Structure 1
Amino acid sequence: MELLHINCLGKPLRLEGSMAGWQQLFWGDDLVSVIPASADYQGQRMHEFTLSVQPQVDHEQAANQLADSPIPAMQPQSITIRLEIDLQWQPFLLKYQLLQNDNLLTQGQRDTKDIERQIPVKPVEAKRQFSLIGLASLGLKLFKSAKVIKVVLAGASVAAYSWLFSFQFALALIACLVFHEYGHIRAMKYFGMKTKGIYLIPFMGGLALSDEKINTRWQDVVISIMGPTFGLFMSIAALFAYWFTGNIFFAGLATFNALLNLFNLLPILPLDGGHILKSISFSMNSMLGLVACIAGAAIGVFISYTLGLALLGFLLLIGSLEIMFEWKTRHQSHLLPLDRYGQLFSAVWYLLTVGALVGIIWYFAGTGDDMLGLPLKILQS
């Protein structure tokens, strides 16, 4: 990831690095200093390189020279540039000094907020994986200039869900999807990201799109979990509406919306839950963190099977194993990891959201209505 980007003698000086310990310093497009990967991945480091520059000619002095007196050749001068840094990853803090021949040029420091706001000079290319959602996203980008595509896709979604269920239920489902995606949009805007709106994909749900890349795991967690959080708010609102009116429609809306958002929180990529748990586990830099991640996943699977939620437990197990198998690649990411507080806060937020959604499904299953009990039966299947 890009740690620092400052000006040095008329060219950008860019420092890139990762928690694997390696660092690369670029002056313009030239690689001028490298620190290889090592177990000692933070603390004080020094990058140094030498430039050979041609001294400027004093034109007034040259004009005063006699015509038959040749101007002596100017010898190139060597300039030593030294970048001294003190790097701390969790919480992130980078202090730096830039010196020219031991003379201080500039100094400063950067924290997590600076990383969140930066736009990398070399955009990070996301790893391409084959998926229907990825193909749908690519197709939408081709039509991003045509706003009418949103209306067409929304109409197609209403028609598709009306064909499967009913027109009224289709509208309710569309409302759930839009409110869920609006949560993602609000989070993106909170981080100052430009958004392109919400796209509804028949039989696949919705997408909240942005052209901008995230720089930190915290951004990934907040953007991912805000969709299910907004979905939880909608289910709670429908639950209160059911208590005040007794209308079974609000009960169905609350429980099926809870089921939809609960599946989005499964730790399977590219679902929201996969991004959340991947950000938490990949921010743990020690073996103790991996053990804690494995223990948490095992407890979640045990609780799911104890409560009779066989399908939920099985998908939780598969998703957790997928993330754990990729744990060794965490240092290759360009995203700034969560600090200890961020890891704990994200885990608690995730667990409370999952628990609340399961609680809503369980509550309506206890009413004795076969239709309202269907989401719980799906989780138990």
Structure 2
Amino acid sequence: MERHVELLNIECLGKPLKLEGSLAGWQQLFWDGQLVSQKAASSDGEGLKVHQFQLQSANQHSPIEIRLEVDVRWQPFLLDYCLLADEQLLAQGQRTENDMARQAPPPHAQASKPGPLGLVSLLFKLFKSAKVIKVVLAGASIAAYSWLFSFQFALALLVCLMFHEYGHIRAMQYFGMKTKGIYLIPFMGGLALSDDKINTRWQDVVISLMGPFFGLLLSLLALLIYHLTDNPFFAALSGFNALLNLFNLLPVLPLDGGHALKSISFSQNRFMGLAICGAGLVLGVVLSYQLGLTLLGFLLAIGGLEIFMEWKQRLNSHLIPLDRYGQMVSAGWYLLTVAALVGVIWHLAGSGDAMLGLPLQILKS
């Protein structure tokens, strides 16, 4: 189901007045859950829109004329509103992108009485709430990586994955999103999940890049411990973790780098977004073929579908785009993180140890 952003939620005559809309200028106004006004999409999707409707108050015989004036600008996002009742001012104010990023997500609708499939779904949710699935997946991941490499390597890999995913979790919590925790998937890595949806492209960038950024912090910490103790384990941990997070920053959907690239490019225009994300998809196909990464090829199919949906729903997207400053900050954050991870790998390769130089050899290949 297509979702639109909640632009405004204020009180009107003791009941909630909620305005939903999209970048194309489409708007719907609800009073106490009932549709009272709507506006069609416009050519530029911005500018002043006036919603007018009548309400019948229990204390008055004649209906009350309600007027909501909304002036929206998308880049940078700015919404000015003015609410009047019979020409008397009830409320006025302004909303920015920060307000949109931190607004509480809409409550989930209550499900009807479950049938047989609903009961199965309920049992599955109870199963998840007991954290059994997380434990099972973590155990399966340790077993899988121990079978491929060693038990010690498996534990080190899980530490890297957990630290990376915790970065995503912290970013979600920063925006007030409810998190469902971290799920470790054998041979695929990990997933940080949330029930809530994002409202802005900036949220997408921050949540995507905080995983690799936390990975960078772990590599720097391990590198520091290595120089203090001369223990080669921490050097290997630093280099391998840097390579893992650098791979995740490839500009390929659905990797973290691909998500950051998608938000930056589609904030400019849909043609630029399609061209840049399409180039990332081609890069992913080349890497998948040359390195024989069948799993990456499967993920690329998901990424290709995501690019198509972004292109198709660009004008009706509920995500507030990045302004020019936000695009530059996002691109700078991405490039600096990539450069720092490469720097860690390059530094370790200079030690002369063949094992520590392996990540650099992989990059060169």
TM-score under structure 1 length normalisation: 0.76
* Cross-structure match for 2:25: 21
2:273 matches 1:269: no
Unaligned runs of 5+ in 1: 57-75, 125-137
* Cross-structure match for 1:80: 65
Q: How many pairs align?
A: 335
Distance 2:92 2:9 in 1: 12
Contact 2:145 2:154 in 1 (8 A): yes
Deviation at 1:380, TM superposition (A): 4.2
- Which residue, 342, 351, 360 being the options, matches 1:358? 342
Contact 2:202 2:321 in 1 (8 A): yes
Distance 1:322 1:379 in 2: 28
Deviation at 1:13, TM superposition (A): 1.7
* Cross-structure match for 1:345: 329
More moved, 357-366 vs 322-331: 322-331
Deviation at 1:228, TM superposition (A): 0.4
Please provide the CA RMSD for this pair: 3.4
Deviation at 1:359, TM superposition (A): 2.8
2:104 matches 1:100: no
Deviation at 1:260, TM superposition (A): 1.0
Distance 2:238 2:44 in 1: 51
* Cross-structure match for 2:8: 4
Deviation at 1:34, TM superposition (A): 2.3
- Which residue, 152, 168, 171 being the options, matches 1:168? 152
Deviation at 1:372, TM superposition (A): 3.4
| Matched position secondary structure for 1:354 | helix
Distance 1:246 1:183 in 2: 28
| Cα deviation 1:268-298 (Å, max 9, x = unaligned) | 33321122111212222487x659x849x79
Deviation at 1:48, TM superposition (A): 1.3
* Cross-structure match for 2:135: 151
Letter of the structure 2 residue corresponding to residue 336 of structure 1: I
Deviation at 1:367, TM superposition (A): 4.7
| Cα deviation 1:170-224 (Å, max 9, x = unaligned) | 1111111111112112222222233333222222212222333222222221121
Deviation at 1:321, TM superposition (A): 8.5
Deviation at 1:369, TM superposition (A): 4.3
Contact 1:55 1:77 in 2 (8 A): no
Deviation at 1:347, TM superposition (A): 0.7
- Which residue, 291, 314, 329 being the options, matches 1:330? 314
* Cross-structure match for 2:117: none
Report % sequence identity: 68
Deviation at 1:49, TM superposition (A): 1.9
Contact 2:105 2:197 in 1 (8 A): no
- Residue correspondence of structure 1 range 189-268 to structure 2 within 5 A: 189-268=173-252
Unaligned runs of 5+ in 2: 110-121
More moved, 114-123 vs 193-202: 114-123
- Which residue, 160, 163, 169 being the options, matches 1:185? 169
Distance 1:379 1:139 in 2: 46
Query: In structure 2, do the counterparts of structure 1 residues 327 and 355 end up closer, same or farther at CA, with 3 Å as the change threshold?
Result: farther
Distance 1:147 1:191 in 2: 24
* Cross-structure match for 1:132: none
Distance 1:362 1:332 in 2: 44
Query: In structure 2, do the counterparts of structure 1 residues 168 and 286 end up closer, same or farther at CA, with 3 Å as the change threshold?
Result: closer
Distance 1:141 1:207 in 2: 17
| Matched position secondary structure for 1:77 | coil
* Cross-structure match for 1:89: 74
Letter of the structure 2 residue corresponding to residue 49 of structure 1: F
* Cross-structure match for 1:66: none
* Cross-structure match for 2:112: none
Rg bigger for which structure? 1
Contact 1:43 1:86 in 2 (8 A): yes
* Cross-structure match for 1:39: 43
Contact 1:268 1:322 in 2 (8 A): no
Letter of the structure 2 residue corresponding to residue 359 of structure 1: G
Contact 1:54 1:77 in 2 (8 A): no
